[in-house]
C-alpha cells in the first residue's frame, strides 16, 4: 500500500514574552528584542499537522482527518487560543514559549494520541514569514 501524507491546518491567537528570568532586562532585550516586552505581545499562529502512513485498505484513509481536527482542537487550540502562554499554559511556565518550543510541545501533545505506525510532523507559523517544523527528531 502506498504511504501518503494527510494535512490539517488550524490556528490560534496567543500572547507571550520571550525572556529568561535569571537574565537582566538589558540582556533579554539584547537577545530577544521587542519580543521580551514585559507587557507581552501576541501572534496569530497557524499550525499545520501532517500525518504520514499507509493507506488503510478498508477505509482508504491514512488517518481520519475528522479525528485529527478534534485532536488539534482539544490539544492545541483549546489549550493555547487567546491565552497568555507564559502565564496560563502549564508547559510554558518554565519553558520559554518560542516558536520552536511551541512546535515541540504541540507535537508531543498530539503524538501520544496517534498510532505509532504514523509519522507526524508539526509546522508552526508565528508570522507568515517565520515558521518552524518538528518531526520528533
Catalytic residue among 35, 75, 103, 121: 35
Q: List the 83-84 sheet strands across, edge first.
A: 83-84, 3-16, 41-54, 119-125, 131-134
Determine whether 35 is an active site residue: yes
Determine whether 77 is an active site residue: no
Catalytic residue among 11, 41, 82, 113: 82
Q: Return the bridge partners of 122, or none.
A: 49, 134
Q: Tell me if 40 sits within 8 A of 10, measured CB to CB.
A: no
Q: Tell me if 45 sits within 8 A of 12, measured CB to CB.
A: yes
Catalytic residue among 16, 43, 121, 126: 126
Q: Tell me if 114 sits within 8 A of 51, measured CB to CB.
A: yes
Determine whether 121 is an active site residue: no
Q: Which positions are annotated as active-site residues? A: 35, 82, 126
Amino acid at each position: 500500500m502506498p504511504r501518503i501524507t494527510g494535512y490539517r491546518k488550524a490556528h490560534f491567537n496567543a500572547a507571550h514574552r520571550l525572556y529568561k528570568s535569571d537574565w537582566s532586562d538589558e540582556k533579554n532585550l539584547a537577545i530577544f528584542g521587542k519580543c521580551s516586552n514585559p507587557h507581552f505581545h501576541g501572534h496569530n499562529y497557524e499550525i499545520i499537522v501532517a500525518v504520514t502512513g499507509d493507506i488503510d485498505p478498508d477505509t482508504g484513509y491514512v488517518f481520519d482527518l475528522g479525528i485529527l481536527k478534534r485532536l488539534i482542537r482539544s490539544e492545541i487550540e483549546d489549550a493555547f487560543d487567546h491565552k497568555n502562554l507564559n502565564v496560563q499554559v502549564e508547559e510554558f511556565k518554565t519553558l520559554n514559549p518560542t516558536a520552536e518550543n511551541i512546535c515541540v510541545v504541540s507535537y508531543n501533545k498530539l503524538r501520544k494520541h496517534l498510532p505509532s505506525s504514523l509519522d507526524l510532523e508539526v509546522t508552526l507559523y508565528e508570522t507568515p514569514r517565520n515558521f518552524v517544523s518538528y518531526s520528533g527528531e
